[in-house]
Amino acid sequence: MEKLQLVDYFLGAILVWLVVLSVYFIKVLRSWNKLTRSGKDLNLQGILENIIGNQQSINKKVDILGEEIKRLQGESKNYFQKHALIRFNPFEDTGGDQSFIVALMTGVNNGFVISSLHSRNGTRVYAKQIAGAKASGNELSKEEKEVVEKAAKSRGEPIDKN
C-alpha cells in the first residue's frame, strides 16, 4: 500500500513536470512562429541577419534625424522666438494705458522694439533695432529697456489672449 502511494506521488510529479514543459514548449513555439512569420526562409541565421539589417537601417535613419534636428535648432536661433509687451501712460493729460512697447527678438536676442506713444494730438510710432538684448544705434527709454529685458528672459511662451 505504501509503495502504491509513493508511485502515485512520483507519477503526479512527472505529470506536473510534463505540464510545465508543455507550457514552456508552447511559448517557444509561438515565439518561433512570430519570428518566422515575416520570413520565407525558416533559416534562423537568415532571419536574425534580416533583423540586424533592419536595425542598422533604423539606426542610420535615427542618426539622419538627429542631424536634421541639430540643423533646425541652429536655424531656429534666427527666427523670432521671444516677445514682450508693455502698455503704459506716458503723458498726464491722456487717460488709460493707450501707449505700448513691443519687443520681438530671436533666440540670440537680436530683433527690434516698436514704441507707440499716444497723446491727445495723435499717435507716434518708433522702431529701434536690438542686438544682443541691447540697443543698436539709438538709446532705449526706461520702458523700452524694461520690455527688452522681459523679452530676453522669456522662452517664447505664447502670448496671453486675455
Q: Which amino acid is at 12?
A: G
Residue 162, pLDDT score: 39
pLDDT in tens, 30-87: 988 877 776 565 677 777 888 899 999 999 999 999 999 999 988 888 888 899 999 9
Residue 92, pLDDT score: 73
Residue 161, pLDDT score: 42
* DSSP letter string, 84-113: EEEEE---TTS-S--EEEEEEEETTS-EEE
Sheet holding 80-88, edge to edge: 80-88, 99-106, 111-119, 122-131, 134-135
Using a cut of 0.75, tell me whether the model's pTM lies above it: no
pLDDT in tens, 100-143: 999 999 988 899 999 998 888 888 999 999 998 888 788 888 88
